[in-house]
Amino acid sequence: MEERPVLAIHTGAGTWKNIDDINQIISIIKDSLNAGYEEYKSGNCLDIVTSSIEVMENSNLLNAGLGSTLDFLGNITMDAGLINGDSMKSGAVAAVSYPKNPIKLARFVLENTPHLILAGQYADELAKKINMEKHPGPSKRSKDLWKKLKEKAEDRFIIERIKAAKQIGYDTVGAVAIDKDNCLSSGVSTGGVSLKLPGRVGDSPIFGAGFYANKKIAVAATGIGEVIIMSLLSYKISEYYQVNEDLIKSMSSSIEEINKDFGKDTVGIIGIDYKGVVSGIFNTEAMPWGYIRSDGKIFIKGLPW
């Protein structure tokens, strides 16, 4: 029997020029894939996605969880979302500061509430009430980056913030998986855009934008959140797939539309389908991503060289 991919993850689309040691990224990708693979052995699709994203949130290097970037005022606000493709039940959180692992709070919303998204202080209060581990606050690395970018912003905040964000080279983290019962799932987590205006929410908690899954396909996006929301990128891929049942063609067609409507250096996508096809496509300089097969073998792609 041919081994098939069971989990793919990405660490964000961008330039990745400012990363001192790409080996750190490779190590995080491997750790994330292995964590998800352990859940694949006995868990379900949500277990796989949640565990793999939790590793990336805990890395303190990626823009999610402990490594989240800061808004213009120097605060952390995070977004996350995930979906069970079989039930089409989704859960997400937006602009949260309390949980160390926003993906776990998003899963709680999915499994224990009738809602799709909880946001801000009330989502934080829920995280505290259910005894989730508290975020320790901005890392030194995030603080240093914030100071550097804010110095560049000066009075031309919006223009310089956008330019600076494109230079950073890492963004939303995401995962897509299929379990032994062929349930597909997708999930994403992010600290958002560096120097974002306080209160800004990106694509990560938006069903059909930053993430989407059904019984045939699961996709997770990364890049400029406003572009991903306006294009409904993840759902658009599923629409193409409904017609052609070709994952790579569907993802490529969506990227071509993005290039035409919004330009390059904007987005990246990973996807997996019920037939066992996996792919990662991006219009940026790099998008480190990888996948693990049912035999435990890991493949890493999209590195910045």
For the chain, the average pLDDT equals 92
- Rounded to whole angstroms, the Cα distance separating 238 from 139 reads 37
- Rounded to whole angstroms, the Cα distance separating 203 from 236 reads 14
Residue 163 has pLDDT above 60, yes or no: no
Helix H segments across 136-221?
140-153, 157-168
Residue 167 has pLDDT above 80, yes or no: no
Is the pTM higher than 0.85? The answer reads: yes
pLDDT band at 94 (very low <50, low <70, confident <90, very high): very high
Domain CATH code at residue 182: 3.60.20.30
Residue 154 has pLDDT above 70, yes or no: no
pLDDT band at 304 (very low <50, low <70, confident <90, very high): confident
Contact 281, 269 (CB under 8 A): yes
What is residue 164's predicted lDDT score, i.e. its pLDDT?
46
How many residues would you count in the chain?
305
- Rounded to whole angstroms, the Cα distance separating 187 from 53 reads 8
The sign of the torsion formed by the CA atoms of 31, 36, 37, 39 equals positive
Give 28-77 pLDDT, tens digit per residue.
Answer: 999 999 999 999 999 999 999 999 999 999 999 999 999 999 999 999 99
| Range with the poorest average pLDDT among 41-50, 85-94, 140-149, 184-193 | 140-149
pLDDT band at 1 (very low <50, low <70, confident <90, very high): low
pLDDT band at 153 (very low <50, low <70, confident <90, very high): low
Report how far apart, in Å, the C-alpha atoms of 49 and of each of 21, 35, 177, 224, 225 are.
Answer: 26, 9, 6, 22, 21
Catalytic positions, written as ranges = 172
Residue 169 has pLDDT above 50, yes or no: no
pLDDT band at 18 (very low <50, low <70, confident <90, very high): low
Q: How many domains are contained in the chain?
A: 1
DSSP run (H or E) holding 289: strand 289-293
Neighbours of 154 (CB within 10 A): 8
Percent over 70 (pLDDT), the chain: 92
Per the structure, the complete domain to which residue 119 belongs is given by: 5-301
